[in-house]
């Protein structure tokens, strides 16, 4: 089989999604299954739909189009604000877009009118992580603008935390979102169908004893794919953490000194090596590198240590000589997964159910 490759066990992903859908349903929270880390893989999307997600979400319209073209019929949410240049594609292929800017909202309405559809919107609210969202004081103004546009329907509000600044979802910010939802309903006399509390980083809070308030939707990607929560990267009980593996092939394996020699200048990526000597190592090179994955995000099996990587060489301390041509397996973190899925050099091997 060709290497490097990313192996995805669809059965394990379906199990993870089913488990999260079930435990969150007990709290009245539905799951939007996020496909962006898999570039909108239709087979993974289909597994999420079988698991019972209420909708699929992706930040890129290209991925949504790929899923639609493959015949995925589930409700589709564009979870990053469309760019002004992509509003026509958004209304053609997504049912709903997350929005934060009046210019985009108006352009979406115009595009929806031209396409003869009504497009859903969820207004994103900034609650402290300082990525996307309308400031809480401006939400009423934006809601009013949406309600005044004939080709848009206001589906709800949402927020995103723990991405840019690592702000954890907690009772304070989730209560703020719930209160905003109720206040919009009172002010405008409309029901909000969706109150989307966040991404996988919200699971610690959602599955705690805290009452969910108005939160009735979470957008889950990493937790379904990698089986862990992203605040502390703790495995979630009941989920597989090995549904996805990165596999690379050995092209060199030799005992070498652990200390480089010669005049020490910059590395290929402009950093400085910080060599620590501990005698001779068995240094093994795999045919993979920065162009295929995030080497710092690879977890090798016991006894192997990732030492570093350039564009095309991944160097590990293997403790012993490894036969040339043999393969080594790693568990990717989110960053390594994303880059591997995006690299044209990495084969994607999806294996069906192994439950």
Active site residues: 36
Cβ at position 221, least distance to ligand PLP in Å: 3
Near ligand PLP in 184-223, by CB under 6 A: 199-201, 219-223
Torsion from C-alpha of 9, 12, 18, 19, nearest 10 degrees: -150
Pure H helices in the chain:
10-25, 42-51, 61-69, 87-93, 102-115, 139-147, 171-188, 203-206, 222-226, 334-342
Would you say 87 or 161 has its CB closer to ligand PLP?
161
Per DSSP bridges, beta strands 96-99 and 119-125 are parallel
Helices vs strands, H then E, count in the chain: 10, 18
Cβ at position 326, least distance to ligand PLP in Å: 33
Dist. CA 52–CA 264, nearest whole Å: 55
Closest among 98, 334, 336, 97 to 201, alpha carbons compared: 334
Would you say 223 or 290 has its CB closer to ligand PLP?
223
Q: Does 160 bind ligand PLP (CB under 6 A)?
A: yes
Would you say 34 or 121 has its CB closer to ligand PLP?
34
Q: Does 59 bind ligand PLP (CB under 6 A)?
A: yes
Would you say 59 or 343 has its CB closer to ligand PLP?
59
Q: What is the DSSP letter of 80?
A: S
Q: Does 127 bind ligand PLP (CB under 6 A)?
A: no
Query: If you search the block for the tokens 């031209």, which residue do you land on?
Result: 114
Near ligand PLP in 236-265, by CB under 6 A: none
Q: In whole angstroms, how far apart are CA 144 and each of 52, 134, 293?
A: 33, 13, 44
Would you say 59 or 290 has its CB closer to ligand PLP?
59
Cβ at position 18, least distance to ligand PLP in Å: 16
Q: Does 79 bind ligand PLP (CB under 6 A)?
A: yes
Q: Does 35 bind ligand PLP (CB under 6 A)?
A: no
Q: Does 36 bind ligand PLP (CB under 6 A)?
A: yes
Would you say 173 or 283 has its CB closer to ligand PLP?
173
| Residue nearest ligand PLP by beta-carbon distance | 221
Cβ at position 244, least distance to ligand PLP in Å: 13
Q: Which of 34, 64, 247, 328 binds ligand PLP (CB under 6 A)?
A: 34
Q: What's the residue count for the chain?
A: 355
Q: Which of 169, 230, 289, 297 binds ligand PLP (CB under 6 A)?
A: 230
Dist. CA 150–CA 9, nearest whole Å: 44
Cβ at position 160, least distance to ligand PLP in Å: 4
SS3 assignment, position 341:
helix
Cβ at position 201, least distance to ligand PLP in Å: 6
DSSP string, 145-208: HHHT-TTEEEEEEEE--SSSS-PPP-HHHHHHHHHHHHHHHHHHT----EEE--SGGGHHHHTS
Size of the site for ligand PLP (CB under 6 A): 15
Q: Does 33 bind ligand PLP (CB under 6 A)?
A: no
Would you state the structure tokens that stand for residue 287, as one six-digit string? 């045919």
Cβ at position 191, least distance to ligand PLP in Å: 23
Query: What Rg do the C-alpha atoms of the chain give, in angstroms?
Result: 23
Would you say 105 or 124 has its CB closer to ligand PLP?
124
Give contact residues for ligand PLP (rule: CB under 6 A).
34, 36, 59, 79-80, 160, 199-201, 219-223, 230
């Amino acid at each position: 089989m060709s290497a490097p490759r990313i192996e995805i066990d669809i059965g394990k992903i379906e199990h993870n999604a089913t488990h999260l859908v079930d435990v969150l349903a007990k709290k009245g929270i539905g799951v939007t299954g996020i496909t962006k880390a898999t570039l909108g893989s239709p087979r993974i999307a289909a597994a999420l739909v079988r698991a019972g997600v209420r909708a699929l979400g992706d930040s890129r319209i290209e991925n949504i189009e790929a899923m639609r073209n493959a015949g995925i019929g589930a409700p589709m949410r564009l979870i990053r604000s469309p760019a002004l240049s992509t509003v026509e594609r958004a209304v053609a292929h997504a049912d709903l877009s997350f929005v934060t800017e009046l210019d985009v909202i108006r352009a979406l309405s115009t595009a929806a009118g031209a396409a003869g559809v009504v497009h859903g919107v969820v207004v994103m609210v900034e609650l402290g992580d300082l990525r996307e969202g309308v400031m809480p004081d401006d939400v009423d103004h934006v809601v009013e603008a949406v309600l005044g546009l004939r080709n848009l329907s206001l589906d709800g509000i949402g927020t995103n935390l723990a991405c840019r600044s690592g702000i954890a979802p907690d009772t304070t910010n989730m209560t703020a979102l719930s209160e905003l939802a109720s206040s919009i309903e009172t002010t405008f006399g409309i029901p909000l169908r969706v109150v989307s509390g966040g991404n996988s980083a919200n699971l610690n809070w959602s599955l705690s004893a805290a009452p969910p308030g108005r939160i009735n939707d979470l957008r889950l990607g990493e937790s379904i794919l990698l089986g862990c929560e992203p605040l502390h990267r703790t495995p979630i009980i009941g989920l597989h953490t090995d549904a996805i593996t990165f596999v690379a092939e050995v092209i060199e394996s030799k005992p070498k000194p652990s200390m480089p020699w010669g005049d020490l200048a910059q590395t290929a990526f402009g950093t400085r090596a910080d060599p620590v000597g501990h005698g001779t190592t068995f240094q093994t090179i795999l045919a993979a590198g920065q162009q295929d994955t995030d080497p710092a995000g690879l977890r090798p099996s016991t006894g192997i240590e990732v030492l570093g990587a350039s564009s095309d060489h991944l160097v590990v301390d293997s403790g012993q000589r490894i036969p040339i041509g043999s393969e080594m397996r790693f568990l990717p973190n989110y960053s390594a997964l994303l880059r591997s899925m995006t690299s044209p050099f990495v084969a994607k091997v999806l294996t069906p159910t192994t439950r």
